[in-house]
A and B are shown apart, each in its own frame.
Chain A
Amino acid sequence: MTFVFYLLGFVAIVSSICVVSFKNPIHSALGLVAALFSTAGIYILLNAEFIAVLEVIIYAGAIMVLFLFVLMCLNIRELKMMPQFNILRPIAIVVGAFLLVYIVIIIIQSNFGNFTGVYNEAKIIELGGNAKALGQVLYSRFLLPFEIISILLLVAMIGAITLMKEGLRGK
């Protein structure tokens, strides 16, 4: 199990690096799909198969296809680096590397509480699977955030349409 975890983690990291380093945006998109897939694999290792499948359906299946659609409409074969990014690049790399080391050291040295929640494996089987257990929690304890998120998605949609539609008078 640990080996599989490290394997998936390795794939996720390598493909994420591919996403940012590939010049061709379609290849980057392919890298992102691989990263999402290995993340989904990690979710399965955590016995969260419902989240794993949702990750694949929503991110890999829907959002990335939209990305590809837009990329193909623009038909960019290769991204030209803008000069202003080139100046900041070394600084960004140094700062990023520093932050990475900082966070990794902190995570290694920290002690996280050993908590066991209500929803252990037996409990989830009793409830009839992950999806049901999640549904139960979403519609009881997390009702308010759940409803707010539904409004949030509506707002995002209204906003996106506002930006796109022709709302100009006489111009």
Chain B
Amino acid sequence: MIEKLQFGMSDFVALLPEIILCVFALLITVYDFMSKRTNKALISYMSQVAFFVTLIATFTLIGNNYTAYSGMFVIDTFAIFIKVVILLVAMISVAASHRFITDEGYESGEYYILIMFSVLGMMIMASATDLISVFVGLELMAIPCYFLTGFFKKQNRSIEGALKYFLMGAFSSAVLAYGISFVYGVTGTTNLHKIAEFFATQGVDINNPALYLVLTLFVAGFGFKIAAVPFHMWCPDVYEGAPTPITAFMSTAVKAASFAAFLRVYATALPALHINWAPTLAVLAALTMTIGNIVALTQSSFKRMLAYSSIAHAGYILIGLVALKVSDGVASVLFYLIAYAFANMGPFIIIILLRTKNSSGEMLTDLHGLGKRAPLLAGIMLIFMFSLTGLPPTGGFPGKYYLFYAAVQSNYVWLTVVACINTAISAFYYFKVGMYMYMHEPRNTEELEKPSTPVLTALYICVGMTLLIGIMPHRFFEAAKQSIMLLTS
């Protein structure tokens, strides 16, 4: 028996969005190579087109549910949901980058190309049903991010962030690969469904310490990508050093894709071990939000504060993983991911708009008196802060509600209490932003530049979605619920 290449139409269709994106990215690479230096702005629009076409292709696949490439890849509604979120985030990031990198003096199309390839990796992660494809997707996602972090190569903090991210990222990938090798040793397969099948038929051998090692290594490997405490050390420096649109991209898209893979591995392959890993994740979630929120309180840089706030939000999302067994556990994660994505992109876009000749717009002091300097921006910022805190009528409120409810349902009341206390702590620094904007006199009286249309559009989409999710959460939650039906069965 020789293994034959089985590549049919269904395999091709399953991968269609990825293939489209990849072909676009390659063509744009060639175009970038051939074009003149002054034509680089066009590449931004070309990548938008690529993302848009990919998005449409992704939508056309709704309703399909099958595995392809000998069990390496699956097309189901969960994957499509995550892919849509990622593509939207990518489009917003690219729009927000308009004029940003050229203003900083970096005229190059590789910026967009790297974003496109990173998105490609994320899409593969969202669909991966084999630890091997999870791993290669993760690497394809991460490696462009290392370069994008260091894209402003004349700025020391950008390079510093890139180096830290790269070293830690490489190390965490090694940890994850080591964990995968132990899974293979114990179960004899890397396919998520077959692993689950193994535990279902053979039973879970509680006395086999290799399983605990696997769980430890997996938590460390994935924990790094989602910046969970104590694997978060890289996060503030990287988020602060990276170009602002890339920070927005990494704090949302990378997190969404990592959580998708995390969820799929744990929900599909390891539900039998739930009782072993849930308490660990619960402690990790509590630690992550507490440390993220408390350290965020003391920051003087707005960008750095948002970095710590995104660590804290990873903690909230981890609650959903703990409550995986409850019917709405996973759906609440998806819902929170989409609500958080838009609310978290927004402040970064405002940072971009706040740049002036003499200030980077990244410090909290730059926000002083924003209510007077730019009332519209200040109002929008306030909405984002509401959403990040978790107040109605924004998307953050139902997001937190569903997550906490799932935790209560799965008898993790203490975790819910910790999360509520944390929400109170976080309100402190989110409201501090509001206070600076409205109750302080402007420190910097420079006229803000007139924002360009793509950036403004991105900002309006973010704020619109944040409000929309807050006003009619039910629709979105239903979509999330439907998309996970097949994941856990």
Contacts and interface: CB of A to CB of B under 8 A. Distances in A.
A148 B213 contact: no
Given A115-B188, A170-B105, A110 B3 contact: no
Q: Which 10 A-B pairs have the closest CB atoms?
A: A159-B147, A110-B210, A115-B188, A144-B69, A140-B3, A162-B110, A112-B185, A106-B209, A167-B108, A144-B72
Interface of A: 103, 105-107, 109-113, 115, 117-118, 127, 136-137, 139-145, 148-149, 151-152, 155-156, 158-163, 167-171
A118 B185 CA distance: 16
A110 B120 CA distance: 37
Contacts of B106: 167-168
Contacts of A144: 15, 69, 72-73, 133
A136 B5 CA distance: 8
Interface stretch (B136-144, B323-331, B410-418): B136-144
B2 A158 contact: no
B132 A113 contact: no
Interface stretch (B43-51, B150-158, B286-294, B307-315): B150-158
22 contacts: A106-B212, A110-B213, A111-B208, A113-B186, A127-B2, A137-B3, A140-B4, A141-B70, A143-B5, A145-B135, A148-B136, A151-B120, A152-B121, A152-B140, A152-B143, A158-B117, A162-B108, A162-B147, A167-B107, A168-B106, A168-B107, A171-B154
B187 interface: yes
Interface in B193-229: 205, 208-210, 212-213
The main secondary structure of chain A at its interface with chain B is helix
Nearest to B26: A154
Interface in B1-59: 1-7, 15, 22, 29, 37
B146 interface: yes
B3 A155 contact: no
A143 B210 contact: no
Contacts of A142: 72, 132
B455 to A, nearest CB: 21
A51 to B, nearest CB: 15
B133 A118 contact: no
Interface of B: 1-7, 15, 22, 29, 37, 69-70, 72-73, 105-108, 110-111, 113-114, 117, 120-121, 124, 130, 132-133, 135-137, 139-140, 143-144, 146-147, 150-151, 153-154, 185-188, 205, 208-210, 212-213
Nearest to B107: A169
Contacts of A107: 210, 213
B136 A152 contact: yes
Contacts of A136: 2-3
B179 to A, nearest CB: 11
Contacts of B73: 144
Nearest to A108: B209
A169 B137 contact: no
A106 B114 CA distance: 40
A159 B143 contact: yes
A28 to B, nearest CB: 17
Contacts of B143: 152, 155-156, 159
A23 to B, nearest CB: 21
A170 B103 CA distance: 12
